[in-house]
Amino acid sequence: MTPMARLAGRTAVVTGASRGIGRGIAERLGRDGALVAVHYGNDGDAAAATVAAVEKDGGRAFAFRAELDRPDAVDVFYAALDRGLAGAGAGREVDILVNNAGASGSGRLHQLTPEVFDRLFAVNVKAPLFLVQRALDRFRDGGRIVNVSSLVSRNAYPESVTYSMTKGALDTMTLALAKELGPRGITVNTVAPGYVATDMNARHRTTPEAVAELAALSALGRVGTPQDIADVVAFLASDDARWITGQYLAAGGGTGL
């Protein structure tokens, strides 16, 4: 089976797909043949660029907006998704959901505020859980759910304690959903990136020395790329991963070994 045919006929929804890891995932799933629904929160131009990149590679995609920290986030999300699916000539059924969207930046313990805490849990935990709940009647049996976590859920990271807590909650959600949805053949897995060169992390690589320090954390001696993570997600979204569920896949190039 060629890469373009691997996900032919399937619909993939990728949250936070306008930039960074999410864009890399959207592009890869598009190359594998899926119709890709590119979710974004605020940057419509960046989302349009993701759609253009998918289409340039011969894939199909559309963008839709929903701010995941709003009380009505799930309603807005699926209303916008359904408009996009109809515009693409597709039904409401979904085969792949990648919960990639995330908020960061909580800071250390003495820097925490209830407002930031609530926002991070709303985007990183509440939204993924209720997006899955709402999708149960539209998910085809044999579908795939991939939650994008972080290595900070398994390592002490006091620099952003609330962010770490949200990723730990996401990991636990993966376990519960994998068992809950297993009878339908729906697999649920976590991919946990290490340090990846994205716009969100740009503040950490302001000098060559800073980049070298980050690269040294990996056993492979470099900083990760969105494509490194996208390829792992694409594997989990494919039939090749049909016997893998409830798992935490560390995608950090051997960080911390």
Look at the block and give the residue holding tokens 């839709």. Answer: 64
**Cα(86)–Cα(166) distance, integer angstroms:** 33
Closest residue by Cα to residue 106 from 157, 72, 43 = 157
194 touches 222 (CB < 8 A): no
Q: Is 163 a catalytic residue?
A: yes
Q: For residue 98, what are the β-bridge partners?
A: 14, 146
**Cα(86)–Cα(61) distance, integer angstroms:** 12
Residue 130, CA atoms < 13 Å, CB-side half-sphere:
18
189 touches 146 (CB < 8 A): yes
DSSP letters along 94-116, please?
EEEEEE--------SGGG--HHH
Task: Indicate which residue of 40, 78, 157, 163 is catalytic.
Answer: 163
Active centre residues (catalytic)? 163
